Amino acid sequence: MSLGRLVVDSSPLNYFARSNQLPIFAKLVAGSVCLITKAVEEELLRGGSKHAQLFQASAQPWVTVVDESALDYLTLFSEYHDRLGRGSRNIGEATTLAYAEFHNIVAVIDDRVGRRHGVERGVKVTGTLELLCKGIREGYVEPGEATEVVDLLSDHEAFLPCDGAGFIEWAHAEGLLE
């Protein structure tokens, strides 16, 4: 089942790419239009010098890079960037949330602070673990496969609220597998 149009932050793609799980991510977003901002693409490409798998993330046939320049979007970006911290940090998150708000689409973002700011402004957000739960509910990802993915993502420095062993329990506690 499609989530419609999604704009994805660099973190989910980063960890799926580094753990060689981009095919699983593709399953999780199948049927959706999957967008990344130009800033997110640049973050992924910069990270490619340290982790070559990141070069693959924005090159997936199901990923479209967008570059918004409308004044209202830039105003939103500036507001998010101010809230998330100025400078070169969090630019990808700020562009992702601004794009989602500007176009009224879902942001795929794992960072808790970014998610909180987006939700406060009415942005629809989802994240890696929510997508995995959706995959389990809809039957195209097995629970065992999802727990392995959670461990692989964690092994590649993803900051998740649980490990693979605790994933199913966490998902039930959050009401994500009902």
C-beta of residue 37 within 8 angstroms of C-beta of residue 7:
yes
Task: Write the pLDDT tens digit of every residue in 4-20.
Answer: 999 999 999 999 999 99
Q: Does domain 1-178 have CATH number 3.40.1350.10?
A: no
- pTM for the model: 0.93
Residue closest to 62 by CA, chosen among 97, 108, 95: 108
Q: 148: exposed, middle or buried (C-beta count within 10 Å: 0-12, 13-18, 19+)? A: middle
Task: Write the pLDDT tens digit of every residue in 53-111.
Answer: 999 999 999 999 999 999 999 999 999 999 998 777 889 999 999 999 999 999 999 99
